[in-house]
Structure 1
């Protein structure tokens, strides 16, 4: 194994330990650069097949990179020491579609019938953008990425349905074209953008007021570029109203030991 890979894996393990001990509770964008990050959805087993079908029907918004065994809080294929009860900086707890709590661990909530889904995250292509001189604004400004609910409907599956959530990163038109080329190589991290240019075309009224995350500055001559986002399932969860569902808080991901480039299309 290359020295650089060993150093990165050391970073991922140290970051998970910091999250597990609640020393790190913030967004994970820009951290453990080069490692795949994951959105998290935890559901009772009798809801899992419908959600799996929802992911399969909406692979751009919900690109699956891991699914746990029933009741297992480990995911060894994504990291030998992962413990899904503790390894997210902040969890959102939903009951019957309504968010009722946020917490830094779910040990007391864990159920023997839980199934965990890990979905690819656009944070995982930010390293490639930065290496190309296209560092995302949220990384530059050290804030959470801007996220918006759009009017783009997802494909329903069983009780799960809703509109697509997108992340936004501003670029000049020239740089936007290059960003499209780069991110299209990362289908497991949402791939190429869904839209760039006029936000109202996809139902976004005010870029200064994201539905999730933080607003970022948009400079003169830049256009907003929108990628599908793994927060999309949280909209579908509100509509489906399972008795309990646990997700990551937007922008606060599971850090895995997968390498971004391992899932890239060369």
Structure 2
């Protein structure tokens, strides 16, 4: 049985952001079908050049959609959006430790923060669903599972770390179709980075994700792994910056940009 479309699928990005600003907490898989979703990482300005270099060196995991200048909290990707309030949940970090999880970080924002917005695999999920590929995490009402792998990113000064992946169980006969669909959206991580045995990428136990929730595989399913934007968050955490703000994994910014497989050129890093 395939996923039934939830009412949130037809919610406009503007309305979704308004609901999150009003305090609704929900992971955004299945929201606002047809629109690009984005990860958020905000760091002090003195670290921004190195972090941008890290993202550019690891484009599969960290596809840059926008880099928002110091102190700003708006983006051309989402008209009227407030990056401090319009995501469902944020995490606040100090010296590599999460010190708070909040629904609003406006009081923590200052003129020194540079914000990175990265593509998210939630963007391509409606395309998979439309092709008859089930989304098990939505069927089971949980967040998508995410795992640290043993694959290392190319470092940039103090920023280093593993590639983080999201996993979706896919029926064996639909894996090639899933790969074909997602490879057309490099701004949403593109094609899978691995199919099959989790141990081959250093994932020991699918039932114990590092982020998100475990998902049950059905008979005939194979685990399929896509690069994940939490990779950038992991690099920031490992760098033990004095201060950083990130989205809570699975709780994304929903932008006004349409997800078009042939329109990859519209997403360019703001210099």
Q: Note the alpha carbon deviations across 1:89-144, whole angstroms, 9 max, x for none.
A: 11010111211110111111011111110000000000110111113211222211
Secondary structure of 2:166's counterpart equals strand
1:74 and 2:74 aligned: yes
Partner of residue 65, structure 2: 65
Distance 1:263 1:164 in 2: 26
Distance 1:238 1:265 in 2: 29
Distance 2:65 2:256 in 1: 12
Distance 2:263 2:32 in 1: 17
Secondary structure of 1:108's counterpart equals helix
User: TM-score if structure 2 supplies the norm length?
Assistant: 0.92
Partner of residue 116, structure 1: 115
User: TM-score if structure 1 supplies the norm length?
Assistant: 0.93
Secondary structure of 2:106's counterpart equals coil
| Paired residues for 1:173-184 under 5 Å | 173-184=172-183
Secondary structure of 1:215's counterpart equals coil
Partner of residue 6, structure 2: none
1:106 and 2:105 aligned: yes
CA RMSD of aligned residues (A): 1.6
Greater than 6 Å deviation, 4+ residue runs:
none
Q: Note the alpha carbon deviations across 1:194-238, whole angstroms, 9 max, x for none.
A: 001000001111111111101111011211000000111121112
Q: Note the alpha carbon deviations across 1:9-54, whole angstroms, 9 max, x for none.
A: 97111110000010x2010000001110000000111110000000
| Paired residues for 1:131-210 under 5 Å | 131-210=130-209
Distance 1:192 1:204 in 2: 19
Q: Which runs of 5+ in 2 are unaligned?
A: 1-8, 266-271
Distance 1:251 1:61 in 2: 15
How many pairs align? 257
Q: Is the 8 A contact 2:11 2:31 kept in 1?
A: no
Distance 1:181 1:225 in 2: 13
Distance 1:263 1:124 in 2: 14
Q: Is the 8 A contact 1:55 1:63 kept in 2?
A: yes
